[in-house]
Amino acid sequence: EVQLVESGGGLVQAGGSLRLSCAASGFTFDDSTIGWFRQAPGKERDWVSFIVGDRGTTYYADSVTGRFTISKDNAKNTVYLQMNSLKPEDTAVYYCAARSVATMEIPPRPRHFENWGQGTQVTVSE
């Protein structure tokens, strides 16, 4: 059974930083796609960033390019999302998502992923 457990969310002022973690069990990062969606109140779940395959090719939504960095630690089976220069519009529940194929649609959609974490709240104040 695949489990994804997010942590690291919280309240931060605009311009601040947070690092999210997604610990995976029952799942290996080889030949996989894993990363993050986010969903603000009343809005659709949008993709944020993904890391794909053994080479760790990374993808970022335009809204976070240059501010967020995704990385993974294969030994710990954990993916990280370093979020810098946070803005109030980054406020959302952030969800870790994964699937066991190393391919990436642009843009990725929630329906493309069969494994999800419970979500972690990120709130950025003015």
pLDDT digits (tens, 9 = 90+) for 14-71: 999 999 999 999 877 778 999 999 999 999 999 999 999 888 999 999 999 999 999 9
User: Quick one: what percent of the chain has pLDDT higher than 90?
Assistant: 85
Query: Can you tell me the mean pLDDT for 94-105?
Result: 92
Q: What is the pLDDT of residue 28?
A: 78
Q: CA–CA separation, 11 vs 14, rounded Å?
A: 10
Other residues' Cβ atoms within 10 Å of the Cβ of residue 40: 14
Q: Are strands 10-13 and 120-125 parallel, antiparallel or unpaired?
A: parallel
Q: CA–CA separation, 71 vs 49, rounded Å?
A: 10
Q: CA–CA separation, 35 vs 112, rounded Å?
A: 12
